[in-house]
A and B are shown apart, each in its own frame.
Chain A
Amino acid sequence: MMWAGVLVACASCYALKLAGLSLPASVLQDPRVQRTVPLVPVALLAALVVTQTFSTGHHLVLDVRAAALAVAIVAVLLRAPFLVVVASAAATAALLRLL
């Protein structure tokens, strides 16, 4: 099941890349497409941030991950590199669990 999902997702992502190079420009230059597509990652990434921070299964929870996110926000504001943002969040969660 995992493999099927992984491979279908890979094929879909490749199809989207190829569609951009292959479809007539008029289809993808439609103002509705141009306006909407860039908003999708903003909404999805924001939804991923909050759901993966404030929930476990179907329950809303407030735990060390919230503190880790706060540290990540500070790291992003300080323009830290990607790996530093991720590592500082993980380290925060690990340290708080030790206490």
Chain B
Amino acid sequence: MIRDALGIGIATGAYALSFGAISTAAGLSLLQTCALSVLMFTGASQFALVGVVGASGSVWAGAATAALLGSRNALYGVRLSSLLERGGWRRAAAAHFVIDETTAMAIARDSVAESRLAFWATGLAVFTLWNLGTLIGALATHALPDPKVLGFDAAPPAAFLALLAPRLRAREPMAIALGAGVVALVCLPFVPAGVPLLIVAVLVAIFGVLRSRG
């Protein structure tokens, strides 16, 4: 289990390299980039914030998108709630580690003790290597003359695609992804940068609520 946790940590560390690079190329300082990995610590939201800022959107549109993407962590929390320690600082600390990787590792274990061990081992491994990867990626990018020459502006969409792909295994999410893409492009010329994302989020929420009734 510890070896699995380390393996996941190393994989996410490699992916943090690209976060550090993209964030720096988007114009965030080294300290802001590292603060995101330490304090936000949820990959898709971090990529969204720096992606919106890098595409000259306002940081507030980026922050709203990051929070919307972070909403899924609340559902992970519901599944983990009965497995983790109750109350006090351990719960407050555990909350910070509620992300895709720790949830996947902690659920479907044979006992609560195993779940807890998997959660904390994965959380600590990912947190350590995610922040290390971010720092290295950011430092390396700081040393480069012009990130655009290296194609760094083409990196964020590829990162979003890689985050999206595992969620497209059924017809409905595929249709939602296509619809969201079309809506975002159609409204893009008419609203401030980053706002198409918020429009898409509102529409998909309405869709979800209507569908769950019928």
Is the CB–CB distance between A93 and B73 below 8 Å?
no
| Across-interface contacts of B74 in A (CB, < 8 A) | 16-17, 19-20, 23, 28, 37
Binds A, one of B1-9, B13-21, B108-116, B124-132: B13-21
Is the CB–CB distance between A68 and B154 below 8 Å?
yes
- Cα A20 to Cα B35 in complex, Å, equals 23
- Cα A1 to Cα B59 in complex, Å, equals 8
Q: Tell me, rounded to whole Å, the shortest Cβ–Cβ distance linking A25 to chain B.
A: 6
Q: Which interface class (under 10, 10 to 19, 20 to 34, 35 or more) fits B?
A: 35 or more
Q: Tell me, rounded to whole Å, the shortest Cβ–Cβ distance linking A45 to chain B.
A: 4
From B29, which residue of chain A is reached at the shortest CB distance? A2
Asked if B193 CB lies within 8 Å of chain A CBs, one says yes
Interface contact tally, CB-CB below 8 A: 309
Is the CB–CB distance between B63 and A5 below 8 Å?
yes
Is the CB–CB distance between B95 and A90 below 8 Å?
no
Is the CB–CB distance between A7 and B39 below 8 Å?
yes
Asked if A99 CB lies within 8 Å of chain B CBs, one says no
Which of chain A's residues 1-22 have a Cβ closer than 8 Å to chain B?
1-10, 12-14, 16-22
- Cα A90 to Cα B78 in complex, Å, equals 38
- Cα A10 to Cα B32 in complex, Å, equals 11
From B58, which residue of chain A is reached at the shortest CB distance? A5
Which of chain A's residues 24-54 have a Cβ closer than 8 Å to chain B?
25, 28-29, 31-54
Asked if B145 CB lies within 8 Å of chain A CBs, one says no
Is the CB–CB distance between A83 and B18 below 8 Å?
yes
Is the CB–CB distance between A39 and B158 below 8 Å?
no
| Across-interface contacts of A50 in B (CB, < 8 A) | 157, 181, 184-185
Is the CB–CB distance between A93 and B153 below 8 Å?
yes
- Cα A30 to Cα B45 in complex, Å, equals 24
Given contacts A2-B59, A12-B63, A16-B74, contact A73 B181 (CB under 8 A): no
- Cα A20 to Cα B160 in complex, Å, equals 25
Q: Which A residues contact B (CB, under 8 angstroms)?
A: 1-10, 12-14, 16-23, 25, 28-29, 31-55, 57-60, 64-65, 68-69, 72-73, 75-76, 81-83, 85-95, 97
Q: Which B residues contact A (CB, under 8 angstroms)?
A: 11, 14-15, 17-18, 22, 28-29, 32, 35-36, 39-42, 44-45, 48-49, 51-53, 55-56, 58-60, 62-63, 65-78, 80-81, 84, 91-92, 94-96, 98-99, 149-165, 167-168, 173, 176-181, 183-185, 188-190, 193, 196-197, 200-201, 203-205, 207-209, 211-213
Q: Can you name 29 A-B residue pairings with CB atoms under 8 Å?
A: A2-B29, A6-B35, A6-B36, A6-B63, A9-B63, A19-B74, A21-B80, A32-B209, A39-B208, A40-B204, A42-B164, A44-B68, A44-B180, A44-B201, A45-B160, A46-B184, A48-B48, A50-B181, A51-B184, A60-B185, A65-B153, A69-B157, A69-B161, A88-B158, A89-B151, A89-B154, A89-B158, A94-B150, A97-B151
